[in-house]
A and B are shown apart, each in its own frame.
Chain A
């Protein structure tokens, strides 16, 4: 009985996190704020639901499988978000007009990238 209540609470928390993430990706004004929302769903929402499945089955093989899925999601989703946001910033996707800080604006980020590309291709 107590495990039933724990499973229901964890599944509800996960579903609410996924719902918040979907509302965020629809309503946020900017690409980068939309990107910040997706990581929450993939870590907290799916994590809670898979932990509920782990409690429901209480089997060793299922627990190993679920821990591997959660570990993989926690490792890879920030890496994917970093890669796509770096590409978007290089392409020139603009920030929201009310953004407070743009830390890459004053650095020589773009010039460094161009220098690296010229070094690779051997041009001046």
Chain B
């Protein structure tokens, strides 16, 4: 009951939202839009991993969710720092 509901209702909703976020990733006029859309793709992937850990009845997937949460935060911080430094060099 729970497994079929998750597979046929919840996972398609998250998949459609991942597709819409990827459209913004392709469309985004500035680099900042691409950075936050890739951050949102990773965050939605954490939700998808949570759904699949319930579906397969296996809690080992949640380790992957932990690593992905760290990677999302560090990549956003690194991109902010990188764009900040390139901005400074251009003004000099």
Which residues of A are at the interface with B, using a C-beta cutoff of 8 A?
4, 7-8, 11-12, 14-16, 18-19, 21-23, 25-26, 31, 34-35, 38, 41-42, 45-46, 49-50, 52-53, 56-57, 59, 61-62, 65-66, 68-69, 72-73, 76-77, 79-81, 83-84, 86-88, 90-91, 93, 117
Contact = CB atoms under 8 A, between A and B. Distances in A.
25 contacts: A4-B1, A8-B2, A8-B5, A11-B51, A34-B24, A38-B39, A41-B40, A41-B43, A42-B40, A46-B44, A49-B50, A50-B47, A50-B65, A53-B62, A56-B2, A59-B59, A65-B59, A65-B63, A66-B62, A68-B66, A76-B73, A79-B77, A80-B80, A86-B80, A90-B84
Interface of B: 1-2, 5-6, 9-10, 13-14, 16-18, 20-21, 23-24, 30, 32-33, 35-37, 39-40, 43-44, 46-47, 50-51, 53-54, 59, 62-63, 65-66, 69-70, 72-73, 76-77, 79-81, 83-84, 87-88
Nearest to A15: B13
Contacts of B33: 31, 34
A76 B67 CA distance: 13
Contact of B6 (A11, A38, A117): A11
A27 to B, nearest CB: 9
A88 B82 CA distance: 12
Given A41-B43, A45-B47, A72-B69, 18 more contacts: A8-B5, A11-B6, A15-B47, A26-B20, A26-B24, A41-B44, A42-B43, A53-B50, A53-B53, A56-B2, A59-B59, A65-B62, A69-B62, A72-B70, A79-B77, A84-B76, A88-B32, A117-B88
A57 B59 contact: yes
Given A62-B59, A68-B66, A83-B77, A46 B50 contact: yes
A91 B9 contact: no
